[in-house]
């Protein structure tokens, strides 16, 4: 995001970027003293209220030392069942406050895609098809820019579209003003804006709509600061565009710090509409379509090229026969490169993912065919038979990562990516950093003991008594929970997949291991690209950079520089 000095000069690839994951936050005494202001904290051992108003609260998680904003329960975010865009819309709200003109430009750059959504929305409510240039589509498109609260929502929906793929369910409520007013989202947005400004005026807090940081955060830099709302942010341009009642409420928050002034926008409250909401959700019939099937109807308006010097990306899963992004520098590809035959002269290193194990195999179903010759020694294994016939049922049966099969996969990948270093339990040095690539295609939680015995043995051999060289460990699935970006709230999270081998911790203590990189879990870009963790008595970075149209790669260089400064 650009600085506040020039709000409209940023390049397309840096429009409304997703912020980085926050490290653990240690609240200063002035903020922990606020716990006593809220009686509910006496019965809350984990999530302590730090600040709240009528509808929202800022809480501090005592276990993972994180700050979070949440609605208090009565305020309904959306009447649309299974509406997953709240984090995107909250982020859009903050970016709109900071850069309203840039937000509009971002929306306008998606005009063709928006027209497609509006056509589908009109069809969903009228059962009549219209073309892109029809008066109804033109009118619906113009209506977006006549209501700032709808404009914020559309911005959030487009951020979601660019990250996760095309949307399909309940489009009318998401894109048509006439239907959107029934969802209650505008009321939610207006109250969220009010709370965000009220919070940042009252406390030394900064937020981008997802992450919360202390103003004195060690990770704060110009890019992060410009992308976050603080008490110093210039939001006058956005206030001039917002509805008068929302504008006045926010202005009152600025002038009269902690005074709460309710807005006039219609709110959707459970206490008033609980029964109606239950009926809507009980009778809800989903009509969503897989995003992959919809991609043909939408175009990618975002740049494919990035200039990261050390570019980290994973889980590309390309089916188009070519990589969907361009980087001519050094790339770290953390597995699952392709779901079809792919050959590229991209430079860098890669590790083996579970999908790569399947996609190097011949496409011919005739196992007597000559191209199957090199794979025949594996026919005797049950896991290989499953891998060929039904890959999704085979993952948990895969051999621990020192099997000869992985060498055969590596050889095939090297043919397809002649300039890549395919690391199958080996290492390379690039610009003074040692990268160890371990073959961990999936998290074998039920075979954790054997998996970690393999990790220890491989690391000990590859570290090779060279204690001082900065080292980064790359694998497709994370090594274990302590070095994973996967949230404990995820259905894929295995609480027992922790490091239980003391010898591994000892290696981390003895050697200059500065971070780990993984993929596999398809963690959304909005959740952040990295975090700083404490493991084996020191701080390490963990990076997970899943490919999406909003994220063609993560620049690792600055993390390497920070870690090298710490270890010197």
522 pLDDT higher than 80: yes
- For residues 560 and 383, give the distance between their C-alpha atoms in angstroms, rounded to a whole number: 38
- Grouping H, G, I as helix, E, B as strand and the rest as coil, residue 154 is helix
Q: How many CB atoms lie within 10 A of CB 550?
A: 21
Kindly give, in sequence order, each residue whose CB lies less than 8 Å from that of residue 97, ignoring residues fewer than 6 positions away. 193, 196, 197, 229, 233, 235, 238
Contact 344, 322 (CB under 8 A): yes
- The string of pLDDT tens digits covering residues 434-472 is 999 999 999 999 999 999 999 999 999 999 999 999 999
- For residues 386 and 381, give the distance between their C-alpha atoms in angstroms, rounded to a whole number: 9
The predicted model gives 409-413 an average pLDDT of 94
- The string of pLDDT tens digits covering residues 265-288 is 677 887 877 777 777 777 666 666
Identify the pLDDT of residue 489: 81
Task: Give me the phi and psi of 318, to 5 degrees please.
Answer: -70, 140
The predicted model gives 491-513 an average pLDDT of 94
The predicted model gives 8-27 an average pLDDT of 47
- For residues 338 and 438, give the distance between their C-alpha atoms in angstroms, rounded to a whole number: 19
Q: How many CB atoms lie within 10 A of CB 55?
A: 20
- Strands (DSSP E) found in 180-320: 205-207, 212-214, 310-313
What domains can you pick out in the chain, each with its CATH number? 77-197+219-300 (no CATH), 310-567 (3.60.21)
The predicted model gives 527-554 an average pLDDT of 89
The fraction of the chain above a pLDDT of 70, given in percent, is 88
Name the one residue in this structure whose structure tokens are 């959107």. 180
Identify the pLDDT of residue 398: 95
Name the one residue in this structure whose structure tokens are 């590596």. 410
User: Considering only CA atoms, which of 208, 209, 226, 206 is closest in space to residue 2?
Assistant: 226
- The string of pLDDT tens digits covering residues 374-406 is 999 999 999 999 999 999 889 999 999 999 999
Q: What is the mean pLDDT of the chain?
A: 86
92 pLDDT higher than 90: yes
Q: Which sign, positive or negative, has the C-alpha torsion 42, 48, 51, 52? A: negative
Identify the pLDDT of residue 253: 74
As beta bridge partners, residue 555 has 311
The fraction of the chain above a pLDDT of 90, given in percent, is 58
343 pLDDT higher than 80: no
Confidence of residue 24 (pLDDT cuts 50, 70, 90): low
The predicted model gives 212-238 an average pLDDT of 75
Per-residue exposure over 4-36, b if at least 16 CB sit within 10 Å of its own CB, e if not: eeebeebeeeebbbbbbbbbebebeeebeebbe
260 pLDDT higher than 50: no
pTM: 0.77
Confidence of residue 19 (pLDDT cuts 50, 70, 90): very low
The predicted model gives 11-35 an average pLDDT of 62
User: Considering only CA atoms, which of 535, 547, 545 is closest in space to residue 499?
Assistant: 535
Higher pLDDT, 465 or 293: 465
As beta bridge partners, residue 57 has 52, 70
Backbone torsion region of residue 315, taken as left when φ is above 0, otherwise alpha when ψ lies between -120 and 50, otherwise beta? left
**Which H or E run contains 564?**
helix 557-567
Q: Which two tokens stand for residue 264?
A: 């006039």
- How do strand 538-544 and strand 513-518 relate by DSSP bridges? parallel
- For residues 173 and 77, give the distance between their C-alpha atoms in angstroms, rounded to a whole number: 13
- For residues 510 and 532, give the distance between their C-alpha atoms in angstroms, rounded to a whole number: 19
H-type alpha helices, 19-99: 29-32, 86-98
Distance of alpha carbon 383 from its chain centroid, rounded?
32
526 pLDDT higher than 60: yes
**Which H or E run contains 101?**
helix 100-109
- Strands (DSSP E) found in 401-480: 420-422, 426-430, 433-437, 471-474
Identify the pLDDT of residue 290: 66
- The string of pLDDT tens digits covering residues 301-316 is 888 899 999 999 999 8
- The string of pLDDT tens digits covering residues 226-243 is 788 998 899 999 999 888
Contact 527, 545 (CB under 8 A): no
User: Considering only CA atoms, which of 51, 26, 29 is closest in space to residue 38?
Assistant: 51
**Which H or E run contains 544?**
strand 538-544
- For residues 281 and 284, give the distance between their C-alpha atoms in angstroms, rounded to a whole number: 5
Contact 349, 341 (CB under 8 A): no
The full DSSP string for 428-439 is EEETTEEEEE--
Q: Which sign, positive or negative, has the C-alpha torsion 316, 322, 327, 331? A: positive
Identify the pLDDT of residue 1: 32
First to last CA, the chain: 31
Higher pLDDT, 216 or 180: 180
126 pLDDT higher than 90: yes
- The string of pLDDT tens digits covering residues 157-188 is 999 998 888 888 899 999 999 999 989 999 99
Q: How many CB atoms lie within 10 A of CB 231?
A: 16
- For residues 272 and 283, give the distance between their C-alpha atoms in angstroms, rounded to a whole number: 19
- For residues 359 and 413, give the distance between their C-alpha atoms in angstroms, rounded to a whole number: 10
Contact 93, 240 (CB under 8 A): no
Q: How many CB atoms lie within 10 A of CB 271?
A: 9
Identify the pLDDT of residue 265: 62
């Amino acid at each position: 995001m650009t600085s506040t000095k020039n709000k409209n000069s940023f390049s397309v690839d840096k429009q409304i970027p997703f912020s980085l994951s926050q490290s653990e936050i240690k609240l200063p005494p002035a903020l922990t003293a606020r716990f006593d202001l809220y009686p509910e904290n006496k019965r809350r051992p984990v999530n302590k209220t730090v600040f709240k108003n009528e509808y929202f609260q800022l809480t501090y998680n005592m276990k993972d030392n994180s700050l979070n904003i949440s609605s208090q329960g009565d305020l309904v975010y959306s009447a649309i069942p299974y509406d997953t865009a709240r984090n995107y819309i909250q982020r859009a709200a903050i970016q709109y406050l900071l850069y309203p003109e840039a937000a509009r430009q971002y929306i306008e750059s998606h005009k063709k895609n928006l027209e497609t959504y509006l056509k589908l929305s009109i069809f969903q409510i009228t059962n009549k098809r219209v073309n892109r240039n029809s008066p109804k589509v033109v009118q619906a498109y113009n209506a977006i820019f006549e209501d700032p609260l709808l404009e914020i929502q559309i911005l959030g929906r487009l951020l979601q579209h660019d990250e996760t793929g095309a949307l399909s369910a309940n489009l009318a409520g998401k894109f048509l003003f006439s239907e959107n007013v029934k969802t209650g989202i505008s009321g939610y947005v207006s109250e969220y804006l009010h709370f965000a400004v009220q919070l940042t005026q009252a406390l030394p807090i900064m937020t981008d709509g997802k992450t919360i940081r202390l103003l004195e955060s060690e990770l704060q830099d110009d890019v992060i600061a410009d992308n976050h709302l603080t008490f110093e942010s210039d939001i006058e341009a956005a206030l001039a565009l917002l509805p008068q009642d929302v504008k006045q409420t926010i202005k009152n928050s600025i002038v009269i710090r902690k005074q709460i002034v309710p807005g006039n926008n219609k709110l959707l409250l459970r206490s008033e509409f609980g029964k109606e909401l239950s009926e809507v959700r009980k009778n809800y019939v989903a009509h969503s379509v897989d995003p992959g099937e919809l991609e043909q109807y939408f175009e990618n308006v975002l740049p494919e090229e990035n200039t990261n010097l050390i570019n980290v990306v994973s889980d590309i899963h390309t089916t188009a026969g070519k990589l969907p992004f361009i980087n001519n520098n050094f790339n770290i590809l953390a597995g699952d490169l392709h779901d079809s035959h792919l050959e590229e002269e991209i430079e860098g290193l890669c590790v083996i993912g579970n999908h790569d194990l399947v996609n190097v195999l011949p496409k011919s179903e005739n196992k007597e065919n000559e191209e199957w010759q090199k794979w025949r020694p594996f026919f005797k294994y049950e896991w290989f038979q499953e891998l060929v016939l039904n890959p999704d049922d085979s993952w948990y049966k895969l051999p621990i990562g020192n099997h000869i099969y992985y060498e055969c996969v590596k050889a095939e990948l090297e043919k397809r990516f002649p300039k890549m270093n395919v690391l199958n339990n080996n290492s390379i040095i690039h610009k003074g950093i040692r990268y160890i690539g371990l073959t961990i295609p999936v998290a074998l939680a039920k075979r954790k003991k054997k998996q970690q015995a393999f990790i220890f043995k491989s690391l000990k051999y590859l570290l090779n008594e060279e204690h001082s060289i900065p080292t980064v460990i790359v694998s497709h699935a994370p090594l274990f929970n302590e070095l994973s970006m996967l949230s404990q709230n995820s259905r894929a999270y295995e609480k027992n997949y922790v490091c239980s081998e003391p010898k591994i911790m000892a290696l981390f203590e003895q050697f200059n291991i500065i971070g780990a990189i993984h993929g596999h879990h398809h963690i959304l870009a909005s959740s952040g690209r990295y975090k700083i963790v404490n493991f084996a008595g020191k701080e390490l970075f963990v990076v997970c950079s899943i490919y999406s149209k909003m994220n063609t790669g993560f620049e690792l260089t600055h993390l390497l520089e920070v870690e090298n400064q710490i270890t010197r």
